[in-house]
């Protein structure tokens, strides 16, 4: 166990102590005890930076289940480290924010921080595991801890609904990802991502390649809230705002992005990958940005905006995978998509984190998050106002913030798609920049809405629960740090390019690098009058026009009926599956013995007849049969007549007597077939049975009054004739093909020599196979004890008789 392993599991271990701190130091906010851990981890992960820029990855392995090839291998390379820094850095800020956001005497802080630390450890585990099974274990742990965090205020219906929805969707994706992992293991024989990447050139031809790809992508898409699985994210906004800021903007929703980036070297060469990742990303980008306009809740807008931005990063990763088809590194203009994806990933984490915190502050200080009630907050909350100015303008892609740079690179990447000459992109490639441009207009629009509707316009004090005022300093520090990063990365983007972006690109596109090479990333503000600049200008211009005319066309959203929304479809699916399974179960579980017996007999008939038919097992061979005598024929007639007439008699007495007649005839059969012991036993037992029947049923009062004939029912008749036929057919078939001789010769020869008896049947019963007899005696003993108990023990008696 190395220091890296300890770093990964330290949040999990530390969470054990949180309730102790909470109980014993109740006067200090528990968050203060949590805060040092992410800070320490952040410093620890920063210490890897020098190593990573020299392209040295750190790999530490620890045995877990070596016989199955499952080892806890931790690998810190460019991509993993980038995510680890995001998780610990934003984690530290979110913890310090939550100290001021959650009141220490009203909330259950111990559970909150335990869940949060569980989540942090799980996220670190995902991004730093090299073993797919270990990664899957941490992946599900993020689903669970996120479920717990969304449902933190469990007294609210909406929280529980959101938690359940996110759980169902992400666990569905997680399970299909596990399927993809298993398929990868079948193809490669290893769970190690590094080794799978080494084998990737041959993987492409394997039959299971596309199924594995789709399974893995389902996992990534559900976790990263891609279309159509994004529906859990807006409902997850019921969580406390620090949770939304941490999980649903910066970290968990990027786990899917991480997975796609991590497995690009494995699957990226395939056209299915390109179209799925880029296409779904594009759809999500547009869909999320278009529907963000419709929201009235601050966190709702931010949720849709997160969906949209995640779609943008996803589409960039998809487009970036096409770079694998072009060799020359010096002239590979398509790698810019991957650069843009990583850069925007960082940028999105900074500005979206700060915006969520701002939304939390507004909620905290005014009592509402509804933009229809807000307005004119600029003068009351100047610092919050500044933070959200920077955040929203960066989100909209305006200079001089970092969002502008990544948006420019996004446009560059999409424009360059038109130059690609693979996967039919010569013709359809032109759609990419157009969709990207339209989506950017909507992004601009909702960013402006978010900002101007909250802070400018008329102040409406009558609609607010509290008198708005500036937030406490502690609550403002984390978003201030984040927006200062927005400005720093905006003004000096090359701080990141050498240290983080280039190593992360080396992890995503390793095959493009020769020995000792590295990606040269240079991000600059100004490239001259290129097409991207005009696209940005167009976005701003059209965005302003649309914003000014917003009240006129916002009603267009009402055209699409609510019935067809994906949220409604999800609810219908849930209700539908529940009611369908309820109906199906009620249909066949009737509670009546009769119908269950019909199922059992029908399956008995069907399966045996079909087997006889398919195996061609039915034979009729009369060479091995014994002669028919007149006595046997008469007895057969007796059995048949009396057993059939049981079906038609009215009185129960008669049917009991007819059953006795069958029994005595059977004992006569035993006489004819040379079985004296059987005949003796059968006679005695039949007598006792008939006596028992009569005792039980003759003396019951008012019994004969209800006596009727059995009603004829066609199903019963069909089933019983079928059973009879099947038994006859199997008996004939079995008798006609004897595979080997009986072992009875041994008994005949040894009954006297070995066991000193002359009656073979009795010797078999008590000597050769005495154990059968022992337990048959036990059966009789149990039956008699049971009968005695039933008659004597009467604890409960019905009062109404």
Partner 1 sequence: MEILMAFVIGILFMTATYLMLSKSLLRIIIGTGLLSHGAHLLILTMGGLKRGTVPLLGEHAEHYTDPLPQALILTAIVISFGVTAFFLVLAYRSYQELGTDNVEDMKGSEQND
The smaller minimum CB distance to partner 1, of residues 545 and 685, is found at: 685
Q: How far is the CB of 679 from partner 1 (least distance, A)?
A: 10
Residues 6+ apart with CB under 8 A from 688: none
The smaller minimum CB distance to partner 1, of residues 232 and 670, is found at: 670
Neighbours of 469 (CB within 10 A): 10
Q: How far is the CB of 728 from partner 1 (least distance, A)?
A: 3
10 Å CB burial of residue 376 (0-12, 13-18, 19+) is middle
Q: How far is the CB of 666 from partner 1 (least distance, A)?
A: 5
The smaller minimum CB distance to partner 1, of residues 205 and 627, is found at: 627
| Polymer length in residues for the chain | 801
Handedness of CA 719, 720, 724, 727 (dihedral sign): positive
Q: How far is the CB of 733 from partner 1 (least distance, A)?
A: 9
Spatial distance between the Cα atoms of 102 and 384, rounded to a whole number of angstroms: 18
Q: How far is the CB of 739 from partner 1 (least distance, A)?
A: 13
Q: How far is the CB of 579 from partner 1 (least distance, A)?
A: 21
35: which DSSP letter? T
Q: What is the 3-state secondary structure (H, E, C) of 247-269?
A: HHHHCHHHHHHHHHHHHHHHHCC
Neighbours of 638 (CB within 10 A): 17
10 Å CB burial of residue 434 (0-12, 13-18, 19+) is exposed
Neighbours of 790 (CB within 10 A): 9
Q: How far is the CB of 736 from partner 1 (least distance, A)?
A: 9
The smaller minimum CB distance to partner 1, of residues 271 and 728, is found at: 728
Asked if residues 453 and 388 have their Cβ atoms less than 8 Å apart, the reply is no
131: which DSSP letter? B
b/e sequence 480-496, b meaning 16+ C-beta within 10 Å = bbbbebbeebbeebeeb
Rg (CA), the chain: 39
Q: How far is the CB of 671 from partner 1 (least distance, A)?
A: 10
Asked if residues 573 and 694 have their Cβ atoms less than 8 Å apart, the reply is no
Q: What is the dihedral of CA 354, 355, 357, 359, to 10 degrees?
A: 170
The smaller minimum CB distance to partner 1, of residues 175 and 666, is found at: 666
Spatial distance between the Cα atoms of 687 and 318, rounded to a whole number of angstroms: 85
Q: 621 in helix, strand or coil?
A: coil
Q: How far is the CB of 372 from partner 1 (least distance, A)?
A: 50
The smaller minimum CB distance to partner 1, of residues 163 and 719, is found at: 719
Asked if residues 260 and 217 have their Cβ atoms less than 8 Å apart, the reply is yes
Residues 6+ apart with CB under 8 A from 504: 78, 79, 81, 82, 261, 342
Q: How far is the CB of 689 from partner 1 (least distance, A)?
A: 6
Q: How far is the CB of 268 from partner 1 (least distance, A)?
A: 59
Asked if residues 374 and 411 have their Cβ atoms less than 8 Å apart, the reply is no
The smaller minimum CB distance to partner 1, of residues 434 and 731, is found at: 731
Asked if residues 801 and 788 have their Cβ atoms less than 8 Å apart, the reply is no
107: which DSSP letter? S
10 Å CB burial of residue 785 (0-12, 13-18, 19+) is exposed
Q: How far is the CB of 680 from partner 1 (least distance, A)?
A: 10
Q: How far is the CB of 482 from partner 1 (least distance, A)?
A: 59
Question: In the structure encoding, which two tokens stand for residue 455, read together?
Answer: 């802070």
The helix (H) or strand (E) run that includes residue 58 is strand 58-65
Spatial distance between the Cα atoms of 622 and 625, rounded to a whole number of angstroms: 6
The smaller minimum CB distance to partner 1, of residues 556 and 731, is found at: 731
Neighbours of 205 (CB within 10 A): 7
The smaller minimum CB distance to partner 1, of residues 54 and 674, is found at: 674
The smaller minimum CB distance to partner 1, of residues 202 and 647, is found at: 647
Which of 348, 138, 146 shows the shortest CA–CA distance to 233? 146
Residues 6+ apart with CB under 8 A from 488: 495
The smaller minimum CB distance to partner 1, of residues 458 and 792, is found at: 792
The smaller minimum CB distance to partner 1, of residues 580 and 636, is found at: 636
562: which DSSP letter? G
270: which DSSP letter? S
Q: How far is the CB of 138 from partner 1 (least distance, A)?
A: 44
The smaller minimum CB distance to partner 1, of residues 549 and 728, is found at: 728
10 Å CB burial of residue 214 (0-12, 13-18, 19+) is middle
The smaller minimum CB distance to partner 1, of residues 580 and 696, is found at: 696
Residue recorded with tokens 């742990």:
141
β-pair partners for 192: 131
The smaller minimum CB distance to partner 1, of residues 59 and 598, is found at: 598
The smaller minimum CB distance to partner 1, of residues 296 and 773, is found at: 773
Q: How far is the CB of 583 from partner 1 (least distance, A)?
A: 19
Q: How far is the CB of 587 from partner 1 (least distance, A)?
A: 16
Q: How far is the CB of 584 from partner 1 (least distance, A)?
A: 19
The smaller minimum CB distance to partner 1, of residues 378 and 690, is found at: 690
The smaller minimum CB distance to partner 1, of residues 573 and 731, is found at: 731
Q: How far is the CB of 611 from partner 1 (least distance, A)?
A: 18
Spatial distance between the Cα atoms of 511 and 203, rounded to a whole number of angstroms: 15
- Residue 222: φ, ψ to 5°: -70, -40
Spatial distance between the Cα atoms of 411 and 409, rounded to a whole number of angstroms: 5
10 Å CB burial of residue 224 (0-12, 13-18, 19+) is buried
């Amino acid at each position: 166990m190395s220091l890296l392993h300890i770093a990964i599991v330290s949040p999990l271990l530390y969470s054990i102590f949180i309730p102790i701190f909470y109980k014993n130091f109740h006067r200090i906010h528990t968050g203060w005890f949590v805060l040092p851990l992410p800070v320490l981890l952040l410093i620890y992960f920063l210490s890897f930076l020098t190593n990573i820029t020299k392209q040295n990855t750190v790999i530490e392995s620890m045995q877990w289940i070596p016989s199955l090839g499952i080892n806890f291998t931790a690998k810190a390379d460019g991509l993993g480290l980038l995510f680890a820094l995001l998780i610990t850095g934003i984690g530290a800020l979110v913890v310090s924010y939550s100290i001021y956001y959650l009141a220490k005497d009203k909330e259950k802080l111990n559970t909150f921080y335990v869940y949060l630390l569980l989540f942090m450890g799980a996220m670190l585990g995902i991004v730093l595991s090299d073993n797919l099974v270990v990664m899957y274990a941490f992946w599900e742990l993020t689903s669970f801890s996120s479920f717990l965090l969304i449902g933190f205020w469990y007294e609210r219906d909406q929280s529980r609904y959101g938690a359940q929805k996110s759980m169902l969707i992400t666990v569905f994706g997680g399970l299909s990802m596990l399927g993809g992992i298993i398929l990868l293991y079948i193809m490669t024989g290893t769970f190690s991502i590094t080794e799978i990447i080494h084998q990737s050139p041959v993987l492409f031809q394997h039959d299971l390649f596309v199924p594995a790809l789709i399974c893995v992508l389902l996992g990534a898409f559900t976790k990263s809230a891609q279309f159509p699985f994004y529906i859990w994210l807006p409902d997850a906004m019921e969580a406390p705002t620090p949770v939304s800021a941490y999980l649903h903007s910066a970290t968990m929703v990027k786990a899917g992005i991480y997975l796609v980036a991590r497995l690009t070297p494995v699957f990226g060469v395939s056209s299915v990958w390109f179209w799925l990742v880029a296409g779904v990303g594009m759809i999500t980008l547009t869909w999320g940005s278009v529907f963000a306009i419709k929201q009235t809740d601050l966190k709702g807008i931010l949720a849709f905006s997160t969906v949209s931005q995640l779609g943008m990063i996803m589409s960039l990763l998809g487009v970036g995978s096409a770079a694998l088809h072009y060799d020359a590194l010096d002239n590979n203009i398509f790698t810019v998509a991957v650069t843009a994806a990583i850069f925007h990933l960082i940028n999105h984490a900074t500005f979206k984190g700060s915006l969520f915190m701002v939304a939390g502050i507004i909620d905290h200080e005014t009592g509402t998050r509804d933009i229809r009630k807000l307005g004119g907050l600029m003068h009351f909350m100047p610092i919050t106002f500044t933070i959200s100015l920077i955040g929203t303008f960066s989100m909209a892609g305006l200079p001089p913030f970092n969002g502008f740079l990544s948006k420019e690179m996004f446009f560059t990447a999409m424009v360059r798609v038109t130059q690609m000459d693979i996967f039919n992109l010569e013709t359809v490639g032109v759609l990419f920049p157009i969709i990207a441009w339209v989506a950017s207009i909507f992004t601009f629009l909702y960013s402006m809405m978010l900002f101007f509707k909250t802070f400018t316009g008329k102040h409406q004090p009558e609609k607010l629960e509290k008198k708005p005022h500036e937030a406490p300093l502690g609550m403002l520090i984390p978003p201030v740090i984040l927006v200062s990063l927005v400005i720093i990365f905006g003004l000096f983007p090359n701080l990141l390019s050498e240290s983080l972006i280039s190593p992360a690109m080396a992890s995503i596109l390793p095959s493009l690098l020769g020995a000792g090479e590295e990606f040269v990333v240079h991000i600059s503000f100004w490239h001259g009058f290129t097409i991207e600049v005009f696209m940005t200008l167009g976005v701003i211009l059209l965005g302003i026009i649309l914003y000014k005319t917003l009240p006129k066309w916002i009603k267009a959203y009402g055209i699409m009926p609510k019935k067809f929304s994906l949220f409604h479809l999800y609810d219908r699916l849930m209700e539908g599956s529940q009611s369908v399974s309820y109906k199906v179960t009620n249909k066949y579980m009737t509670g009546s013995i009769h119908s269950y017996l019909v199922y059992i007999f029908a399956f008995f008939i069907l399966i045996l007849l079909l087997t006889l038919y398919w195996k061609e097992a039915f034979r009729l061979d009369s060479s091995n049969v014994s002669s028919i005598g007149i006595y046997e024929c008469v007895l057969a007639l007796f059995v048949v007549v009396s057993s059939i007439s049981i079906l038609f008699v009215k009185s129960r007495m008669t049917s009991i007597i007819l059953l006795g007649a069958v029994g005595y005839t059977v004992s006569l059969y035993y006489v004819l077939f040379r079985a004296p012991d059987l005949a003796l036993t059968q006679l005695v037992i039949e007598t006792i049975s008939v006596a028992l029947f009569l005792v039980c049923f003759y003396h019951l009062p008012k019994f004969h009054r209800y006596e009727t004939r059995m009603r004829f029912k066609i199903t019963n008749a069909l089933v019983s004739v079928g059973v009879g036929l099947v038994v006859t057919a199997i008996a004939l078939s079995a008798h006609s093909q004897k595979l080997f001789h009986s072992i009875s010769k041994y008994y005949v020869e040894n009954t006297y020599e070995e066991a000193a008896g002359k009656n073979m049947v009795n010797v078999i019963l008590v000597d050769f196979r005495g154990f059968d007899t022992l337990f048959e005696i036990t059966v009789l003993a149990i039956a008699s004890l049971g009968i005695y108990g039933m008659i004597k023990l009467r604890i409960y008696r019905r009062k109404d008789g």
